[in-house]
Structure 1
Amino acid sequence: MYTDLNRPPLNADALRTALVSGGGDPRAFYSSLDVVAETGSTNADLLARSVDSALDRAVLIAEYQDHGRGRHSRSFVAPPRSSVSVSALLRMPGLPLESMGWFPLMTGVAVVDALRSVAEVDATLKWPNDVQIDGKKVAGILAEVAATTPAPAVVIGVGLNVTLTEAELPVPTATSLQLAGATVTDRDILARALLRSLAAQYSAWQADGWRVDGLAADYRDRCGTLGQRVRVELPGDTELIGTATDVDLQGRIVVRPDDGGEPVAVSAGDVTHLRPHPAT
């Protein structure tokens, strides 16, 4: 029994009806959807289940995660029922292995579109796949490879801050939909919109023959990092400071260094948005 009336549990039956094939909604894309009260990590749970090669388009949502994971194995914990913590296992027959890195970026596009349309917030992407509102992180995305043969398979996880208060935020650079003035903070509506948006992006990419040109253009259009002066912390304790000018067809951020050197394409690194140089 939950005690916080401002944070009711998700309606698993209604989500299945809307999102799972055979539930009655013609837009349904997924094969299964489970909601659990608590787990360590929804991504870890689906990765363990992915050994069943017949399992595809499976969704797992947790009301509370005590070992939620982000990029670079960073951990995060949010109060029960304050977030949407969801993972999906998706298999992608025919996807070139070299394009698998686009999957988390595609998911970022899906999350931004869902938040813009349903919550009516000005969400953008910080490269590679942090979702921000007014420069503060509202959602994180973690993609983990489940298989490469016979078809590539990925478990994609999304953690969306919904009703966290200022005191509950993990870091000062985070925010929640409630704090950002979203018009919708009903987690059932948000989970449904997010998963439908992910399905739409996946289906469009597959229909395009897994080409990345169109996806890259969609990503650039939603990427708030482009045009920003940035600091990129690179492997080996080095850093690159300059202006982000592009995201190339490999999903790399292209940075023009402040020192006037040749543009550098970065495939991995932590990006910080910096203030522009003062006018001289």
Structure 2
Amino acid sequence: MYSNLDRPPLSAADLRRGLDPYYAELEVVAETGSTNADLLARASSSDSDRTVLIAEAQTRGRGRHQRVWVSPPQAQVAMSVLLRLRGIDPEQLGWLPLVTGIAVVDTVRNVTDIDANLKWPNDVLVDGRKLCGILVEVATPGPDPAVVVGVGLNVTLSEEELPVPEATSLSLAGAEVTDRMTLVRALLRELASRLTAWEAANWSTVDLASAYRERCSTLGARVRADLPGGDIITGVAQDVDENGRLLIDGRAVSAGDVTHLRAQ
């Protein structure tokens, strides 16, 4: 019996019964260090593909640049998916975090009626506050790479439980729906739909780029990009290129922390 009626546990059996046929396997665990780390290890020791792992709590969740975060039990969707992307150009892998961001934004909009959007590359924001983080890691490189897609969506976290003041949760944002079973099902369907269409298009990013531009609040904004190594770029975010890199006054940025600056 769970103690918090606002945070019921996920039912793996029910999720499997309604699982999109794109996926081969789904598992829910009570606690783990990192769902991404677990599936990275599994990718190197098996031929698992289209495998979903969800944790009710994470003690060593990972974000970009090796940032660590902890999820309170049953307050988030902490989920990773192991995929083997056959025939994809390695340079196109830079689009996978962006594709995942599109799927999360559409899930939040459709299920909760909240106007979420993306900050490049894949932070999901509501009113400028971070609702969801996404981390994509390559398990085995090569022409048919194995990759792990990790999603951490804040669902019922209170202000006191937020990892940083700039974060938010669905409940704090006034979501109409905060049922995690509904959110997981919808998110897996959206992700499967995007990935299936992308593969069917022979990994072309033309349609994806158009969808991403429609959902990305960074484009057109004046931004500051803090790059690995300490360099800083300030300018207008004009577009994303064919590899998903952000173009700031004509300069392509593939990694870094981007801050939206207030208009002067």
TM-score of the aligned structures, taking structure 2 as reference length: 0.97
Q: For 1:124, which of 96, 117, 122 is the aligned residue?
A: 117
Secondary structure, counterpart of 1:100 in structure 2? helix
Q: Is the 8 A contact 2:135 2:151 kept in 1?
A: yes
CA-to-aligned-CA distance 1:218-275 (integer Å, 9 cap, x gap): 111111101111111112212111111111111111112xxxxxx2111111000110
Structure 1 runs, 4 residues or longer, greater than 3 Å off: none
Q: Which residue of 2 aligns with 1:86?
A: 79
- Distance (Å, rounded) in 1 between the aligned partners of 2:122 and 2:30: 27
CA-to-aligned-CA distance 1:74-113 (integer Å, 9 cap, x gap): 0111210000000000111111111111111110011111
Q: Is the 8 A contact 2:223 2:259 kept in 1?
A: yes
Relative to structure 1, the CA distance from residue 80 to residue 145 in structure 2 (aligned partners, 3 Å threshold; closer, same or farther) is same
**1:195-274 alignment runs, 5 A limit:** 195-256=188-249, 263-274=250-261
In the TM superposition, residue 214 of structure 1 has moved relative to its aligned partner by 1.3
TM-score of the aligned structures, taking structure 1 as reference length: 0.92
Q: Which residue of 1 aligns with 2:183?
A: 190
* Residue 146 (structure 1) aligned with residue 139 (structure 2): yes
Secondary structure, counterpart of 2:229 in structure 1? coil
Q: For 1:68, which of 61, 71, 80 is the aligned residue?
A: 61
In the TM superposition, residue 4 of structure 1 has moved relative to its aligned partner by 1.2
Q: Which residue of 2 aligns with 1:259?
A: none
What is the count of residue pairs matched by the alignment? 264
Q: Which runs of 5 or more structure 2 residues have no equivalent in the other structure?
A: none
Q: Which residue of 2 aligns with 1:8?
A: 8
- Distance (Å, rounded) in 2 between the aligned partners of 1:148 and 1:239: 30
Task: Output the amino acid matched with 2:215.
Answer: R
Q: Which runs of 5 or more structure 1 residues have no equivalent in the other structure?
A: 20-26, 257-262
CA-to-aligned-CA distance 1:146-202 (integer Å, 9 cap, x gap): 112461111000000000011111111100000111111000000111111110110
Flag the structure with larger Rg.
1
Percent same amino acid at aligned positions?
A: 60
- Distance (Å, rounded) in 2 between the aligned partners of 1:232 and 1:51: 34
C-alpha RMSD of the superposition: 1.1
- Distance (Å, rounded) in 1 between the aligned partners of 2:128 and 2:184: 23
- Distance (Å, rounded) in 1 between the aligned partners of 2:125 and 2:143: 36
- Distance (Å, rounded) in 2 between the aligned partners of 1:97 and 1:247: 17
